[in-house]
Amino acid sequence: MFDTVLGLPLHPLVVHAVVVLGPLAALLLVAYAAVPRWRAGLRWPTVACALVAGCAAVVATEAGVGEPGFEHEERGELARTALLILAAVTLVVVFLVARVEAATARVGVALILSIAAAVFATGAVALAGHSGAKAVWTSVIDSTSGS
């Protein structure tokens, strides 16, 4: 797709949005599903955060660096998938519980979906972030540790 913006590498710039907004969207989604009195105020911020995180993950994987088989690339693709699933689950959950008189069974299903998607997305983002940081910083740390 594209690799730079104004001469700067796009991947590390967009990854920061993924790392911040992905877990934030997961947290907002669980709060939205679990706390009825917060739903009205959280509905649109939760949807926006999940959609932006999913889009940022797509851009980050397209602008990524690495070769096929590279651990960070594989984990980044998993994180992208997890965040797209989180965005889809967010839309489903908002639809399921948007009405004040939503049935208890629907709210229970929404909460279970929310927790599952949140755990998957947050875990996948953490794994991708860790492997990327390890790939970038291990040689720098090794060269400064005096070994």
Domain ranges of the chain: 4-144
How far is the C-alpha of 79 from the C-alpha of 103, rounded, in Å?
Answer: 32
pLDDT tens, residue by residue, 9-63: 899 889 999 999 999 999 999 999 999 899 999 999 999 999 999 999 999 999 8
Q: What is the pLDDT of residue 69?
A: 55
Picking from 23, 16, 21, the residue whose alpha carbon sits closest to that of residue 63 is 16
Picking from 52, 2, 49, 3, the residue whose alpha carbon sits closest to that of residue 26 is 49
Q: What is the pLDDT of residue 12?
A: 87
Q: What is the pLDDT of residue 117?
A: 98
Picking from 41, 15, 11, 21, the residue whose alpha carbon sits closest to that of residue 121 is 21
What Cα–Cα distance (Å) separates residue 7 from each residue in 2, 10, 13, 61, 66?
Answer: 11, 9, 12, 18, 19
Count of all residues that appear for the chain in the document = 147
- Residue 60 half-sphere exposure toward CB, CA atoms < 13 A: 31
User: Is the pLDDT assigned to residue 122 strictly greater than 90?
Assistant: yes
Q: What is the pLDDT of residue 57?
A: 97
Q: Which residue is listed with tokens 């979906």? A: 113
Q: What is the pLDDT of residue 96?
A: 87
pLDDT tens, residue by residue, 56-99: 999 999 987 666 558 888 999 999 999 999 999 999 999 988 76
